[in-house]
Every structure is written in C-alpha cells, then in structure tokens.
C-alpha cells in the first residue's frame, strides 16, 4: 500500500483526503493508520460511520484485519457537522453508504480548516462507480487508490466480486459473499 506523503502539509487551511478501493484492499486499515498518527500528535480526532454498517461492532470502525478505533454512528451525513465542531481531523468510513449530502459536508468541514479523511468503496459489485465516491474523488486534494490481490490470478485487483446472486446493490455484513478480483477475472453474477 502506498503511503500518504504530501510534499508539505497544508497550513492554515483544511483539506480532503480520499481513500478509495474495492473490498479487501485495506481502505479502513489505511484510514485507521492516518487517524492513529493524528491522535499520537494529540490532535482532536473524530471518526464517523453510517449506521447501516453494523457488521462487527456498533461504536468502532473495524478493518478486516480487526484493527479498530472508536467511532460515532450517524444516520445521515449532516449529523457529522453537529459532532465535529471541535475536531481538527475528521475520519469518515464506508462513505459509499451516505447520500450526496456527504459532498457538501466534506467541503464544509475542510473549509472550516479541518483535515477530512474519507474512505469508501469506489465501485459496486458490477464495477459501476459507487456514488458519492466519484464526487468525493473529484473534490479531494489527495487521493489514494488501494488495490487488493486477485483471488483467482494474483494480479492487482480493484473489483469486488460477488459470489452469490442478488439484486441488492450491497449485502451488508456479508463480506464472505465477496472476494477481490482483477479486471480480467471479475464478472457480474446472474
Ligand atoms: Zn485476476
């Protein structure tokens, strides 16, 4: 995974970092790594995730490798503004589950001088861009695309392969129904 190293850290301004990729690419691990470093530097860090994602525990963001940080569950993107007033650094996980209000919310937070770090799935199981991630990628100063390893051939993978047939766009809490695949090995189940 690439390390986030801007040539110089912005001063007297906020900014937006987006960590985007498929499942099992280490998005949440990378988010946790950045937030931990901010905490070590005694910065006021607030972490949010949408209430829809209850896969492992209620109040924590948890990566597949089971690193975790305490987070605040919110019903919608605008709620983040109410809780983030004193924060210097705002982390948001599973951003694909928010509606497009998250775009304004991230801009508002960054305009208030905060460092905003957003992680999310950039494509659904069909390989279709998963809004609001494309919009967030467009407004971000810094973008990290995390790649997984294709389970079938070992190539770098940026697609999430669904292993079961379902019309639902997401199967929440069913990570064993998915695996990472490269472009060559990915297909849409039907
Ligand atoms: Zn492959």
What domain range includes position 126? 15-146
Give pLDDT tens digits for 154-178. 999 999 999 988 888 888 767 889 9
Give pLDDT tens digits for 14-65. 999 999 999 999 999 999 999 999 999 999 999 999 997 555 445 666 666 6
Q: How far is the CA of 176 from the centre of ligand 1 (A)?
A: 18
Q: How far is the CA of 32 from the centre of ligand 1 (A)?
A: 28
Stronger pLDDT, 11 or 187, i.e. the higher one:
187
Neighbours of 70 (CB within 10 A): 11
Query: What mean pLDDT is predicted for residues 138-156?
Result: 98
CA angle 185, 133, 101 (to 5 degrees): 150
Is 9 a member of any domain?
A: no
Is 5 a member of any domain?
A: no
Instruction: Match 């790649």 to its residue by tokens.
Output: 147
Q: How many CA atoms lie within 13 A of 18 on its CB side?
A: 23
Is 176 a member of any domain?
A: no
Structure confidence at residue 1 (pLDDT)? 45
Query: Of these residues, 66, 75, 79, 94, which one is catalytic?
Result: 94
Model pTM score: 0.89
Q: How far is the CA of 180 from the centre of ligand 1 (A)?
A: 9
Stronger pLDDT, 9 or 42, i.e. the higher one:
42
Structure confidence at residue 185 (pLDDT)? 98
Structure confidence at residue 54 (pLDDT)? 54
CATH of the domain at 131: 3.40.50.300
Give pLDDT tens digits for 70-111. 899 999 999 999 999 999 999 999 999 999 999 999 999 999
66 is catalytic: no
Q: Does the structure show a pLDDT above 70 at 116?
A: yes
Query: What mean pLDDT is predicted for residues 182-187?
Result: 97
Is 140 a member of any domain?
A: yes
Is 167 a member of any domain?
A: no
Q: How far is the CA of 84 from the centre of ligand 1 (A)?
A: 41
Q: How far is the CA of 174 from the centre of ligand 1 (A)?
A: 22
**Domain count within the chain:** 1
The Cα 153–Cα 58 span in angstroms is 35
Structure confidence at residue 190 (pLDDT)? 79
Is 103 a member of any domain?
A: yes
- C-alpha distance from residue 138 to each of 13, 24, 47, 179 (Å): 18, 23, 22, 27
Is 19 a member of any domain?
A: yes
Helix (H, G, I), strand (E, B) or coil at 30: helix
Is 1 a member of any domain?
A: no
Q: How far is the CA of 27 from the centre of ligand 1 (A)?
A: 20
């Amino acid at each position: 995974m690439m390390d986030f190293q801007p040539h110089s850290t912005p001063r007297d301004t906020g900014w937006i970092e987006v960590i985007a990729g498929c499942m099992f690419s280490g998005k949440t691990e990378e988010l946790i790594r950045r937030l931990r470093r901010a905490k070590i530097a005694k910065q006021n860090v607030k972490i949010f995730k949408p209430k829809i994602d209850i896969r492992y525990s209620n109040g924590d963001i948890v990566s597949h490798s089971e690193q975790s940080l305490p987070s605040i569950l919110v019903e919608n993107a605008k709620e983040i503004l109410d809780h983030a007033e004193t924060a210097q650094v705002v982390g948001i996980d599973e951003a694909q589950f928010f509606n497009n209000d998250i775009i304004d919310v991230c801009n508002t937070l960054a305009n208030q001088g905060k460092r905003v770090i957003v992680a999310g799935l950039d494509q659904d199981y069909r390989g279709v861009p998963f809004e609001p991630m494309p919009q967030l990628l467009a407004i971000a100063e810094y973008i990290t695309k995390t790649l997984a390893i294709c389970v079938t051939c070992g190539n770098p993978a940026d697609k999430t392969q669904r292993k079961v047939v379902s019309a639902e766009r997401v199967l929440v809490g069913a990570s064993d129904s998915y695996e990472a695949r490269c472009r060559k090995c990915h297909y849409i189940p039907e």
